[in-house]
């Protein structure tokens, strides 16, 4: 697998941020996604972890808005992966993957995500333990939902392998 496809920038040019935030509304989740998108460039991998209904697709909508990609973002559950092209030349596209139904590494390999790294940011829902090997460093976003309410929270960090 390709760790960084074409034109990788030095690690010192990227913010190595981590943080936590309470997300009372879906709009807050999308807003955080837009903020995180400012750190992303083609070749980056974002892994979203969290239970059903925690806001993984809402986070992806925010990332897509921040990147300025074309097309409505919805859950790729039944088609496994959706591609959203960049709206402007020189900007990264977005590949949105739902790894929940993938049977293993062979099925992930069959998606050829490593070939898309040169031009896109790849966001993988349910990807922890599967997608990390695509890159040397990824953004891990853990989303949680309080069982008694609809209040969600997020914690994120860049993870080196």
pLDDT for position 107: 59
Both tokens of residue 1? 């697998």
Q: 143 forms bridges with which residues in the sheet? A: 154
pLDDT for position 87: 85
What are the CA-CA distances from residue 75 to residues 23, 95, 161 (Å)? Answer: 20, 12, 28
pLDDT for position 10: 39
Both tokens of residue 120? 């896109």
- CA 78 – CA 101 distance, rounded (Å): 9
Please name each of the domains of the chain with its CATH number. 33-160 (3.40.50.300)
Instruction: For CA atoms 114, 64, 70, 38, give the dihedral sign.
Output: negative
- Interhelix angle 56-67/26-37, nearest 10 degrees: 40
pLDDT for position 19: 96
Q: Which residues, 6 or more positions from 51, have their beta carbon under 8 angstroms from its beta carbon? A: 144, 145
pLDDT for position 152: 95
The per-residue pLDDT string of the chain (161 residues; one tens digit each, 9 = 90 and over) reads 333 333 344 343 444 479 999 999 999 999 999 999 999 999 999 999 999 889 999 999 999 999 999 888 877 555 567 777 888 888 999 988 887 766 655 656 556 556 556 789 999 988 787 777 778 899 999 999 988 888 899 999 999 98
Q: Which residues, 6 or more positions from 28, have their beta carbon under 8 angstroms from its beta carbon? A: 21, 22
Q: Cβ atoms within 10 A of the Cβ of 92, count? A: 24
pLDDT for position 69: 93
3-class DSSP state of 51: coil
């Amino acid at each position: 697998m390709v760790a960084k496809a074409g034109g990788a920038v030095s690690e010192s040019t990227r913010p190595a941020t981590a943080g936590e935030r309470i997300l009372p509304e879906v709009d807050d989740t999308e807003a955080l996604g837009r903020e995180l998108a400012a750190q992303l460039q083609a070749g980056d991998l974002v892994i979203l972890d969290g239970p059903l209904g925690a806001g993984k697709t809402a986070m992806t909508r925010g990332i897509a808005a921040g990147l300025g990609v074309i097309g409505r973002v919805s859950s790729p559950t039944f088609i496994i992966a959706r591609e959203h092209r960049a709206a402007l030349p020189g900007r990264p596209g977005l590949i949105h993957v739902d790894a929940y139904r993938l049977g293993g590494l062979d099925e992930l390999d069959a998606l050829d995500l490593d070939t898309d790294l040169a031009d896109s940011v790849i966001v993988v829902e349910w990807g922890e333990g599967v997608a990390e090997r695509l890159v040397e460093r990824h953004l891990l976003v853990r989303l949680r939902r309080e069982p008694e309410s609809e209040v969600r929270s997020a914690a994120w960090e860049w993870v080196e392998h």
